[in-house]
Chain A
Amino acid sequence: MGYRSYCLVCSGDKCKNEASREVYKELRHVAEARGVDREVQVVRAGCFGLCRSGPIVKLLPDETLYVGVQPDDAQQLVDDHIAGGKPVERLMLRDEDCMPHLETVRQTGFYQKQVRLVLRNCGLIDPDSIDEYIARQGYAALEKVLTEMSADDVIGELKASGLRGRGGAGFPAHLKWNFTLQEVRRQARENPDSMSEVSIVCNGDEGDPGAYMDRSVLEGDPHSVIEAMAIAGYTMRARRGYIYVRAEYPLAIARLEHAIAQAHEYGLLGRNILETGFDFEVEIRLGAGAFVCGEETALLASIQGERGTPWPRPPYPAVVGLWDGPTVINNVETWANVPLIMLRGGEWFSRIGTESSSGTKVFALTGKVNNTGLVEVPMGITLREIVYDIGGGVRDGKEFKAVQTGGPSGGVLTAEHLDTPIDFDSLSALGSMMGSGGMIVMDEDDCMVDVTRFYLEFSVDESCGKCAPCRIGGQKLHSILSRITEGRAHDQDLENLDAIGNAMQHASLCGLGQTAPNPVISTLQSFRDEYEAHIRDRRCPARHCKALVRYEIDPEACIGCTVCARKCPVNCIHGERKAVHWIDQEECIKCGECYAVCKFGAVRVS
C-alpha cells in the first residue's frame, strides 16, 4: 500500500502556464517508462504561488522544491531523484530567492514568503480545546510573566520588540502601555484610596470592507488574545478586560465564550491565577456594527452603554479611558503578538520585518487575484511578492492596476509601487495606510473613480453625524464623485474635491472623518487622468461606468451566430441568424454580457 514518494506538480485551474500541464504529463510518462510508477505517485496540486518561478514540482516526503521545471527536465528528475535518491541541484530554489528580513525564522527552503506569528495556531489547533493551545506553548507567556517578570520588564520587552499597533495607525504599543502604567502609579502614589479602575480592552470591531484578519484569529486561536490581555492586566494592575466584537461575528463570539469559560475552569482567568495572587476577568461586549465604534473612544463609549460617538483626544484613553480610568486598548492582531514576544523576547521579534516596523502583518488579500485569502508576511515585503508570489497574480491574466489598502481610510498603490517595501511608514508616505490589513487587488476593468465613490458611500453611511466636516463634507464628496461617474461633472469639481477633502482631514473630530477623504486624495494623485477622462471626454477608460459606456456591434465583424442575442438578459439584441445583429440602445442595460461572449470581437465598447 502507498508509494515511497509523492511528486506534486503545480497546476491551478486558473493557471495560464501551459508548461506545468506538460511537465505533469511528461513526469507520469517517464515514471512509467522507467518502471517506478508504483514507487512514486505524480499528482497535480493547487497553485504554490511563486508563479514567476513556475512550473513548480515538490517531492514528498522529503519536501524538495524544484522551480522553473520544463518538460525536458522530467527524465532527470525521475532518474536522479526518484529512482536514484539524488536531488537535482540545478532546479532547486536558490537562497537569494528566499525571504529576506527573516534571519530568525528562516528555515531551509523557505520559499513561501509567509511566516506565521499571529496566525501561528490558526488552522493547526482546535480553537475549542484549551489543551491543544497549551500543547503549543499556550499560557507559557502568562506563566513566565507572572513568575519571573515585573511590570517594567514586560514593557521593556515590548519596547525592545518595536511592536506597533496593528489596528491602523501603528502607534508603538509599549508607549501606550507605559502611559497607562505611569498613570496607575501616579494615582497609587497621590490618592491610593480613590484609584480609578484600570481596564484592558481588545478592539475586535473589524469594519473595513474586505478585512477579516481579526475574525480569523478570534475564530482560530481565541486563547492567544485572552492570554495577552491577562499579561497586560498583570502589568497595569487591572482586574478586568473587555473584548469588543461585532455581533456579525457569531462564530468568533461563540469560540471566545467557550475559551473564556475554559480558562476559568483551568484557573487561568478568575481569582488567584496560577496561585500567584493575580485576579483577572475577561468579558465580551458585542458591537452593533457601527463602523465608527472601531475608533477607540467611540468603542469605549459603546462599552459604557452610551451611543458610539467619539470624544476629542486628549486626554487619551491610556490616561482617561473606560469609566474614566486608565485603559489599554489594542486590536486583536496586536494582542495576538504579545504572548510570543514575552516568550521569545522583544529582541527576537524586532529582528523580523524592518527596522521601523517589526514583526509581521496579516493581510486579507481579495479582489482580482488568483489566490485570495489571509496571508501573514514579514513587514518589508513588496507588494509584488504579495500579489504575484503569494497571490498567484491577477485573475484571468489581466493587467494589474492597483491595490487598495487601509479600506475607507486608505488609498491605492499602483503598478509603480509594486516594488516598494511595505511597512507603516512607506504606506503613509505613499498616501495610503496600513489600516487593519484589507488588500483589494484591482485590474484594468476597475474604474478608480467608481471605486472611490464606493468608499465614500461607505464613509457617508457610517459617519456618526456628530461633527459637520465629516457629516457634510462626506456627502459633498460623494455627490461630486457620483456626478463624475455619470458624466455630469466639470473641471471645477476636481478642485472642489481637493478643497473639501482637505477641510475634512483637518477639522473632523475623529479618525473616520479625518481619513474619509484619503481614497479621493490618493486616487486623484495616481489616477488623475481617469478623473479627467470622465469629466472632459465623458469617457470611462475602464469601460465600467454605465452612463458613459455604449455597446455596439461592428457589422464588418459580426457573422450572425446569435450567441449574444441569446445571452442578452433583456433581449435587446436583434438580428436574423447569419445576418448582422444590432443592439437596441434604449433597452440596453450595459451589462457587458454580449462583449464577454462574442468570439469574433464584433461587440465594441465605446
Chain B
Amino acid sequence: MTVSELRDLRERKEKEHGRQGPGTSQVQIIIGMGTSGIAAGAKEVMKTFSEVLEEHEVQNAQVRKTGSLGLDHAEPTVEVAAPGMPRVIYGQVDEEVARQIVERHILEGELVDKHVYDRPAPDALTE
C-alpha cells in the first residue's frame, strides 16, 4: 500500500464506520467482548441477539464486537445505535435483557429500564 492509498482507504472507512454521526439506517449492536465481558457471559448474549433478531425477522441489524468499555461492574455491556434513537450503552445484559433490547428498544423505540449506563468518558479522537 502507498501513502495515498492509505489516505483514500481512511477517508472511505471514516464514512463507512463514522461512529458519531446520526442518520444511520442500520441498527448496530456492539457487544463488549474483552476478557471481562466474556467472563460475564458476552458470548451467550451475542448468540441470543442473533437468535432474537432472526426470530423477529429484523433485517437491518448488525451484531458486532468490541473491546472492553471499562465498566466491569456492569458487564456484559452492549452499545445500541438504532435509527431515530439516541446511542445507548446497556449494562448487565443477560439473555433476557438482550431479548428485551431487541423487542423494546429496536422494535418499539423504548429504552430498557434499569440497564442504561452512561458513556464513561469522551475520547480524544471524537471530542
Q: How far, in whole Å, are A590 and B46 apart by their CA atoms in the complex?
A: 43
Q: Check: B84 CB closer than 8 A to any chain A CB.
A: yes
User: What does the 1/0 interface line of B7-49 toward A look like (CB < 8 Å)?
Assistant: 1011001101111000000000000101110100000000000
Q: How far is the CB of B9 from chain A (nearest CB, A)?
A: 6
Q: Check: A178 CB closer than 8 A to any chain B CB.
A: no
CB within 8 Å of B: which A333-377 residues? 340, 344, 370-376
Pairwise interchain contact B109-A105, C-beta atoms closer than 8 A:
no
What chain B residues lie within 8 Å of A127 (beta carbons)? 65-67
Residue from A3, A135, A136, A219 within 8 A of B67 (CB atoms): A219
Given contacts A147-B3, A216-B68, A219-B68, is CB(A112)–CB(B14) below 8 Å? no
Q: Check: B56 CB closer than 8 A to any chain A CB.
A: no
Pairwise interchain contact A215-B35, C-beta atoms closer than 8 A:
yes
Pairwise interchain contact B67-A216, C-beta atoms closer than 8 A:
yes
CB within 8 Å of B: which A163-209 residues? none
Pairwise interchain contact A120-B120, C-beta atoms closer than 8 A:
no
Given contacts A43-B111, A112-B121, A122-B68, is CB(A134)–CB(B13) below 8 Å? yes
CB within 8 Å of B: which A1-33 residues? 1-3, 6, 8, 11
Q: How far, in whole Å, are A215 and B2 apart by their CA atoms in the complex?
A: 32
Q: Please, which residue of chain B has its CB at the minimum distance from the CB of A268? A: B1
Pairwise interchain contact A371-B35, C-beta atoms closer than 8 A:
no
DSSP class of A's interface residues: helix, strand, loop or mixed? Answer: loop
Q: How far, in whole Å, are A226 and B1 apart by their CA atoms in the complex?
A: 17
Q: How far, in whole Å, are A3 and B105 apart by their CA atoms in the complex?
A: 11
Q: Please, which residue of chain A has its CB at the minimum distance from the CB of B119? A: A112
A44, A58, A123 interface centre (most CB from chain B within 10 Å): A123
What chain B residues lie within 8 Å of A110 (beta carbons)? 122
Given contacts A61-B86, A119-B123, A136-B125, is CB(A274)–CB(B17) below 8 Å? no
What chain A residues lie within 8 Å of B127 (beta carbons)? 105, 107
User: What does the 1/0 interface line of A100-112 toward B look like (CB < 8 Å)?
Assistant: 0000010100101
CB within 8 Å of B: which A104-161 residues? 105, 107, 110, 112, 114-117, 119-128, 131-132, 134-140, 143, 146-147
Pairwise interchain contact B116-A115, C-beta atoms closer than 8 A:
no
Q: On chain A, which size bracket covers the interface?
A: 35 or more
Q: Check: A41 CB closer than 8 A to any chain B CB.
A: yes
Q: Please, which residue of chain B has its CB at the minimum distance from the CB of A364? A: B72
Given contacts A45-B118, A135-B17, is CB(A373)–CB(B1) below 8 Å? no
Q: Please, which residue of chain B has its CB at the minimum distance from the CB of A255? A: B67
Residue from A45, A116, A249, A267 within 8 A of B1 (CB atoms): A267
CB within 8 Å of A: which B81-127 residues? 84-86, 88, 91-92, 108-125, 127
Q: How far, in whole Å, are A266 and B119 apart by their CA atoms in the complex?
A: 32
What chain A residues lie within 8 Å of B3 (beta carbons)? 143, 146-147, 274-276
Q: A43-B113, A373-B70, A374-B68 are in contact. List 16 more A-B contacts (CB 8 A).
A: A3-B109, A43-B114, A110-B122, A112-B121, A122-B34, A123-B68, A131-B9, A135-B16, A135-B17, A139-B10, A212-B36, A219-B67, A267-B1, A344-B124, A373-B120, A376-B70
